[in-house]
Amino acid sequence: MTDGVFDPAALAQSWAQPSKPTPIVIFGAGSIVGDAHFPAYAKAGFPVAGLFDPDHAKAEKLAAKWGVAAYRSVEEAAATRDVVFDLATPPAHHAGVLRALPDGAVALIQKPMGSDLTEATEILEICRSKNLKAAVNFQLRFAPMMLALKDAIARGWLGEVVDFDAWLALATPWQLWEFLLKAPRVEIAMHSIHYLDLIRQLLGDPRGVHAKTLGHPGHKVPQTRTSAILDYGDTVRCALSINHDHKFGRKHQACEFRICGTEGAAYLKLGLNLDYPRGEPDILEIYPKGGSDWITVPLVGEWFPDAFVGRMANVQRYASGDDAELVSSVEDAWNTMALVEAAYQSSAAPATPIAARP
């Protein structure tokens, strides 16, 4: 705090950059790489050595656009020395790529950390056995609005957080990710996992979760709608209402968080998800402790691509010894996967039956 006066511009919104960026080798040439990874690394000045994708023509096209090499095999890409390996691969392929990396390598793994908790455990064991400095790309933690929110909470501007609401009612273009059409787990594992991971960072690990996730008759994606309650005991209420099938115009669509404390509150609009991937501007407003109205925090950047800059910066700074903590390390990310697994188990379990009339 500064003399007890809330200064929104004083909140941290970015991660310190590495003094000497390390070249990056990317596995995968999907839309997330073209829409987020390359733009982020170009913005930050992080050099990319090259990329590999099993679809070599696709890899060559993207590589040519950004002026990097297109490797012909996982082994060729993994043989590149003194780099950070960026796995933008489908979850079922993470383990195979990690096994091909040299021992002691630095790696950033696309979320989720495997298709389920069994695969997450396998990935954790691979990273341990090969002594990999590995983190999972839960980049929402590094979005400017989320860094500012975390800083505001740490500075005491909300008091003790007692309520967290996530509310989404939007139309998500699932067709951008063809592999999801065959995936058994989609909404929680591939999307809401970001929110669950962020909640873990802000509130810690919950005692348990009540959840229901389901599809929609309008398409073949296995799940696109989720309701969940995270159990933090008798003080904190945490609820998520997620609907990716609100296809009735922008007017009543939403993608927002409301975080309430004992002495203040925060409102966030995650603009990226509205008209993805073009998106809308993010919004962070805070009603600070001792205040009398909402104050807009001027954001210097947005979720895409800036969160990817901070995510990679932390990986590189940890590898060089500049950062003491590797945020969302595989050790910590396993706990997010355990929460995801519990949510699917809850969804599969029968609800508490209502008593029949006597």
* Strand 48-52, strand 106-109: pairing: unpaired
**Average of pLDDT values for 125-153?**
98
Q: What is the pLDDT of residues 235-247, one digit of tens each?
A: 999 999 999 999 9
3-class secondary-structure state, position 313: helix
Token output for 255: 């993608």
Sheet holding 133-136, edge to edge: 69-71, 48-52, 24-27, 84-87, 106-109, 133-136
* Cα(74)–Cα(163) distance, integer angstroms: 45
Q: Residue 268: name the closest of 190, 173, 153, 160 by CA.
A: 153
Q: Answer whether residue 7 shows pLDDT above 70.
A: yes
The pLDDT of residue 2: 43
- Tell me the pLDDT of the chain averaged across its residues: 96
Q: What percent of the chain has pLDDT over 90?
A: 94
* Strand 48-52, strand 84-87: pairing: unpaired
Q: What is the pLDDT of residues 161-179, one digit of tens each?
A: 999 999 999 999 988 887 7
Q: Answer whether residue 258 shows pLDDT above 80.
A: yes
The pLDDT of residue 3: 58
The pLDDT of residue 1: 43
Q: What is the pLDDT of residues 261-311, one digit of tens each?
A: 999 999 999 999 999 888 999 999 999 999 999 999 999 999 999 999 999
Q: What is the pLDDT of residues 329-350, one digit of tens each?
A: 999 999 999 999 999 999 999 9
Q: Is the sign of the CA dihedral 173, 177, 182, 183 positive or negative?
A: negative
